[in-house]
Structure 1
Amino acid sequence: MVHKRVRTAVFPVAGLGTRFLPATKAMPKEMLTVVDRPLIQYAVDEAREAGIEHFVFVTGRNKGVIEDHFDRQFELETTLEVRGKDEALAELRKDLPSAGRTSFTRQQEPLGLGHAVWCARDIVGDQPFALLLPDMLFKGEPGVLKQMMETYEETGGNVVAVEEVPREDVSSYGIVARGEGSDEGFHITQMVEKPKVEEAPSNLIISGRYILQPDIFALLAEQTKGAGGEIQITDAMQTLMKSQPFIGVKYRGQSFDCGSKIGFLTANVVYALDRDDIREGFLAELNKLGVGREIN
């Protein structure tokens, strides 16, 4: 069966990043770096690997640096060229989306993830789209969105990435109930936002990567505020489930919740140890602290 190709990805980047104050007072949390790449760049790289052609950023005040990051900086490029920094110059140019492939729109009030997605409705149009939360960093081969795309090409509908957490932690997440199918694609029969431990249908959490049909926009337009007094994407997806299939993909890989300090610091350690150019030096410094031997 042929399904509409997913060409567009939406990145909600309007959050205030209060858990990282004062660092995020003047710098968007999405520009915090894991080793030497901003979080938002990892998300864009993942989308590009999956075949995404159009990158839509839902921003807010003080987020202009994100737009600048995905633009050319001629003075910097000229300086690198004059100094013979060819490798650094090539890396900068490789990271840039092609001209006309990025769009930016504003979420003028912090009304929740569902509202942020709704703000992208006119840019996305009547087409399926990917939704990536930049706070969530995934390390996998292939990337999580590419794994989801492979499932989508077979099933169509809406696709959600999921992972397992300890049962006692389910009340902090959106949880799905698993129906028929394999880890690469199973039917989701229920979604619950932050359930009590004893009421959770499983320990499979929604992990910050989605492929959604455009019908979600009409539902978000009428969605009332839910958990936390915000418009929740999960609530709209629950309604959409009544008329469209939702497929879960238990992805292969490792996740880091970089919206938390522990997750962010852990990601930096893991990604640093995965870099051939800095691994040995980093381990040497960790050894001085008495922790490198355990890692090595």
Structure 2
Amino acid sequence: MRSKVTKAVFPVAGMGTRFLPATKSVPKEIMTLVDRPLVQYAIDEAREAGIKEFIFVTARGKSALEDYFDHSPEMERTLRESGKDSLLEVLQSTYMDSGAVAYIRQHKAMGLGHAVWCARRLIGDEPFAVMLPDDVIAADRPCLAQMVEAYAETGGAMVAAMEVEADRTSAYGILDVESENGPIAKVRGMVEKPAAGTAPSNLAVIGRYILTPDVLQNLNNVERGAGGEVQLTDAIAMEIAQGRNVFGYKFDGQRYDCGSKAGYLQATVAFALQRPELQGEFRQYLQDVMGQRLAAQ
């Protein structure tokens, strides 16, 4: 019987320079999407997939991220005394149990692979998930929960995958697919950010992974790859070379790249339109804006 996936690594050491000047004082991961920080969406997804231990790989200047998950007795008391029970429940949902969360510092910006490697002692010899909070996925069933269910059948290493336009493949890790069975694709190779026209497919890796401790061993030996960084994709590709299985999972859902300004704005619109208390007024506003633009053309 395969071990359950109960640990997840959240690499959040990036400086978020694309969102300056906001990220000068606010970690990108706690920038709000409607009214919840990006990282909260990832945490909620992880919890629904059965994750019990949360490992954050951080960097200097991320103390606000740690504070976000801490208890807030003063605010609790104020809400309780004001009879705002629904807001009190929202506040309490952000808390992390003592011992459930750990923070590891990545002292040098050496890429995603290095960030995961930094968490190796807390991961130990168990399978684990990696979640990138920049990738927010709207799905009826959370993406990681879909993957955990598939992993129980396949084992090996698994990456979330989605189809991208051919002219966008150079921005992603791309899968070389051997065979497909429904949403599961067996992989025979992976290429990180292939040069234009050289991608083996249009199936791109996005920020959800289920990995084995063997990948951590590979990270001990992998050389710096694209961009001069230690690429997690290269360590996963080594699994294939060593005769172990790697799978791509074509998840059911819509991914938003909240690491880019355009993706962040798209996600804001999409998630706002899903909220019953906002959708009516907000949809009318969008319709008015588009109507004015069309009238001006």
**TM-score, structure 2 as length reference:** 0.95
What is residue 6 of structure 1 aligned with on the other side?
5
Instruction: Give the total of aligned pairs.
Output: 293
* Structure 1 residues 5-41: Cα deviation after superposition (integer angstroms, max 9, x where no partner): 1110000000000000001011111111110000100
What is residue 38 of structure 2 aligned with on the other side?
39
What is residue 279 of structure 1 aligned with on the other side?
279
What is residue 48 of structure 2 aligned with on the other side?
49
Cα distance between partner residues in 2 of 1:287 and 1:161? 34
Counterpart amino acid of 2:168? Answer: D
* Structure 1 residues 149-183: Cα deviation after superposition (integer angstroms, max 9, x where no partner): 11100011111110001111111111001222323
What is residue 21 of structure 1 aligned with on the other side?
20
The 8 Å contact of residues 273 and 279 in structure 1, kept in 2 or not, is answered as yes
Secondary structure (helix, strand or coil) at the match of 2:282 reads: helix
Q: Work out whether 1:237 is the aligned partner of 2:240.
A: no
Cα distance between partner residues in 2 of 1:195 and 1:188? 16
Segment of structure 1 superposing worse, 213-222 or 251-260: 213-222
What is residue 64 of structure 1 aligned with on the other side?
63
What is residue 270 of structure 2 aligned with on the other side?
270
Q: CA deviation at 1:293?
A: 11
The 8 Å contact of residues 151 and 184 in structure 1, kept in 2 or not, is answered as no
Secondary structure (helix, strand or coil) at the match of 2:99 reads: coil
Change (3 A) 1:292 1:30: farther
Cα distance between partner residues in 1 of 2:291 and 2:237? 45
The equivalences for 1:126-165 within 5 A come to 126-165=125-164
* Structure 1 residues 137-156: Cα deviation after superposition (integer angstroms, max 9, x where no partner): 10112111011011100011
The 8 Å contact of residues 138 and 254 in structure 1, kept in 2 or not, is answered as yes
The 8 Å contact of residues 285 and 292 in structure 1, kept in 2 or not, is answered as no
Counterpart amino acid of 2:129? Answer: A
Counterpart amino acid of 2:60? Answer: R
The equivalences for 1:194-209 within 5 A come to 194-209=193-208
Q: CA deviation at 1:280?
A: 1.0
Cα distance between partner residues in 1 of 2:58 and 2:22? 18
- Runs of 5+ unmatched residues, structure 1: none
Cα distance between partner residues in 2 of 1:148 and 1:211? 8
The equivalences for 1:170-185 within 5 A come to 170-185=169-184
What is residue 213 of structure 2 aligned with on the other side?
214
Secondary structure (helix, strand or coil) at the match of 2:241 reads: coil
The 8 Å contact of residues 183 and 249 in structure 1, kept in 2 or not, is answered as no
Cα distance between partner residues in 2 of 1:178 and 1:240? 15
Q: CA deviation at 1:199?
A: 1.5
Cα distance between partner residues in 1 of 2:102 and 2:292? 43
- Runs of 5+ unmatched residues, structure 2: none
Cα distance between partner residues in 2 of 1:137 and 1:53? 20
Counterpart amino acid of 2:117? Answer: W
Cα distance between partner residues in 2 of 1:221 and 1:182? 32
Cα distance between partner residues in 2 of 1:259 and 1:112? 15
What is residue 191 of structure 1 aligned with on the other side?
190
The 8 Å contact of residues 287 and 293 in structure 1, kept in 2 or not, is answered as no
The 8 Å contact of residues 157 and 236 in structure 2, kept in 1 or not, is answered as no
Q: CA deviation at 1:279?
A: 0.8
Same amino acid, percent of matched pairs: 48
Secondary structure (helix, strand or coil) at the match of 2:162 reads: strand
* Structure 1 residues 75-124: Cα deviation after superposition (integer angstroms, max 9, x where no partner): 11111111111001011112323221111110011111111001101111
Query: Please, what is the CA RMSD of the aligned residues?
Result: 1.5
Cα distance between partner residues in 2 of 1:211 and 1:134? 15
Q: Work out whether 1:255 is the aligned partner of 2:255.
A: yes
Cα distance between partner residues in 1 of 2:182 and 2:141? 15
* Structure 1 residues 171-230: Cα deviation after superposition (integer angstroms, max 9, x where no partner): 111100122232322211110111123221100000110000011112212222111111
Change (3 A) 1:291 1:51: farther
Secondary structure (helix, strand or coil) at the match of 2:223 reads: coil
Q: Work out whether 1:124 is the aligned partner of 2:99.
A: no
